[in-house]
């Protein structure tokens, strides 16, 4: 049974909320008529009636700064709880609110239908997060770790990685995290238009490596229903992160999330090799030019000799163009592996990258979106179960 708690001095909003719940949602509402929020969440839980709280609504006239402060604490102590804020959704305010742990924002003038939809979504989020936060039994399957690699820079690797994460966020909301392991010059933060308070440097500290709840507090929430763990803010901080710490980090995240998307630095640095050893899937990205294709061939040859290639790999031809002078057959014969996904050169993708809004987040119409969706679909368990024989098929470059 869904249970809701509302904190607000507004009897009018309380009445609307109760009518929305009575209109089709199981459970009941407990209201605290005040605009003063507890400093310690224990005060709130101690005042609740018996039953499990799923959704906390911080209603009209509650100070926004106090609401975000409480949401931050609850996000660490009770990460499965859905916290909703009733306020006018200003664009520059939404991201800040979500970073604090607020799951959704509802207008004070929302009608009963809008309130009911928002509460249903919050209950679904609670159920999903509760499943992912429950201790997993010994031998339970871990999440999929998808590494995005390229021996050469400038092939759109980060663009591919961020779009994979956003696309998977539609399949498994709040069960996806993207990790930027290009520790010196990573662009995941700019690719997702984030200004994170915490980075990989925080996530590999002893306190985080020993407690996944602490680790989750260092993740940044993105509006596409995913989490991000961005690269250190300065190149000097990158030297503090070791391959062993990265291996432990990916193991932890795979235990907590259904999908872990890893963006790596160009080439084959130690950090990248440590990540590759933990990957269930490797996405190899190449542009349609001779240096990129030859670089990919050399990189794959080295990894084959080291026996470091994951069982499942996906070769992506990015910025593909039939007028480049190379064909798919040329690329495949050079690389020694079939090309699985072709993403055509696209102005929409370039624009979305510059804006920090992945093209799959916007849902614009563009030929490149079809290729990106095909790539994302390859990580959908339903697709993999029904299409394993078609894992590698020759693509067509237009």
Final residue belonging to a domain, choices 133, 158, 183: 133
Q: How many domains does the chain have?
A: 2
Judge whether 139 lies within some domain. Answer: no
Q: What range does the domain containing 45 cover?
A: 3-133
Is residue 125 within 8 A of residue 82, CB to CB? The reply is yes
Do residue 41 and residue 171 come from a single domain?
no
Do residue 82 and residue 57 come from a single domain?
yes
Is residue 241 within 8 A of residue 247, CB to CB? The reply is no
Dig out the tokens for 26 from the structure.
Answer: 């199981």
Helix (H, G, I), strand (E, B) or coil at 373: helix
Final residue belonging to a domain, choices 133, 164, 195: 133
Is residue 250 exposed (0-12), middle (13-18) or buried (19+ Cβ within 10 Å)?
A: buried
User: What is the CATH classification number for the domain harbouring 304?
Assistant: 3.40.50.300
Do residue 201 and residue 347 come from a single domain?
yes
pLDDT by position in tens, the chain (length 398)? 458 999 999 999 999 999 999 887 888 899 999 999 988 888 888 888 867 789 999 999 999 899 988 988 888 788 888 999 999 877 667 767 877 788 888 899 999 888 988 888 888 778 766 655 555 554 556 899 999 998 888 888 999 999 999 999 988 888 999 999 999 889 999 999 998 888 999 899 888 888 777 788 888 888 888 999 999 988 888 888 999 999 999 999 999 899 999 999 998 889 999 999 899 999 999 888 888 888 888 888 888 887 877 778 898 888 877 777 778 888 888 888 888 888 888 888 888 888 888 989 877 778 889 889 999 999 988 777 775 545 655 554 54
Do residue 240 and residue 282 come from a single domain?
yes
Do residue 263 and residue 294 come from a single domain?
yes
Do residue 283 and residue 368 come from a single domain?
yes
Judge whether 395 lies within some domain. Answer: no
Final residue belonging to a domain, choices 103, 133, 163: 133
Do residue 150 and residue 297 come from a single domain?
yes
Three-class DSSP labels, 188-209: HHHHCCCCCCCEHHHHCCHHHH
């Amino acid at each position: 049974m869904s249970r809701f708690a509302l904190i607000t001095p507004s009897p009018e909003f309380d009445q609307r909320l109760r009518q929305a719940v009575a209109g089709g949602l199981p459970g009941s509402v407990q209201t605290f008529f005040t605009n003063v929020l507890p400093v310690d969440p224990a005060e709130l839980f101690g005042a609740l009636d018996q039953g499990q709280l799923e959704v906390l609504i911080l209603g009209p006239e509650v100070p926004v700064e106090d609401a975000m402060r409480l949401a931050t604490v609850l996000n660490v102590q009770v990460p499965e709880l859905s916290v909703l804020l009733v306020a006018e959704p200003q664009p520059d305010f939404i991201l800040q609110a979500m970073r604090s742990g607020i799951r959704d924002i509802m207008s004070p003038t929302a009608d009963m239908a809008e309130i009911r939809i928002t509460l249903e979504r919050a209950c679904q989020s609670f159920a999903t997060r509760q499943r992912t936060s429950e201790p997993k039994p010994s031998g339970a399957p871990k999440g999929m770790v998808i590494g995005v690699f390229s021996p050469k820079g400038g092939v759109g690797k980060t663009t591919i990685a961020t779009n994979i994460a956003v696309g998977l966020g539609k399949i498994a909301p709040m069960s996806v995290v993207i990790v930027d392991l290009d520790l010196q010059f990573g662009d995941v933060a700019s690719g997702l238009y984030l200004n994170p308070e915490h980075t990989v440097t925080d996530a590999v500290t002893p306190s985080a490596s020993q407690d996944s709840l602490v680790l989750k507090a260092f993740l940044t929430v993105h509006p596409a229903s995913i989490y991000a763990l961005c690269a250190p803010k300065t190149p000097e901080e990158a030297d503090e992160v070791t391959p062993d710490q990265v291996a432990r980090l990916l193991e932890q995240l795979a235990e907590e999330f259904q999908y872990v998307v890893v963006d790596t630095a160009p080439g084959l640095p130690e950090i990248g090799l440590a990540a590759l050893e933990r990957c269930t899937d490797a996405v190899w990205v190449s542009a349609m030019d001779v240096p990129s294709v030859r670089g990919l061939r050399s990189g794959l040859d080295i990894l084959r000799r080291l026996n470091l290639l994951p069982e499942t790999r996906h070769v992506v031809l990015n910025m593909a163009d039939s007028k480049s002078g190379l064909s798919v057959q040329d690329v495949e014969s050079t690389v020694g592996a079939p090309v699985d996904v072709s993403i055509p050169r696209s102005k929409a993708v370039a624009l979305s990258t510059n804006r920090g809004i992945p093209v799959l987040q916007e849902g614009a119409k563009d030929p490149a979106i079809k290729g990106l969706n095909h790539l994302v679909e390859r990580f959908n368990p339903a697709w993999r179960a029904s299409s394993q024989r078609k894992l590698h098929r020759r693509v067509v470059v237009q």
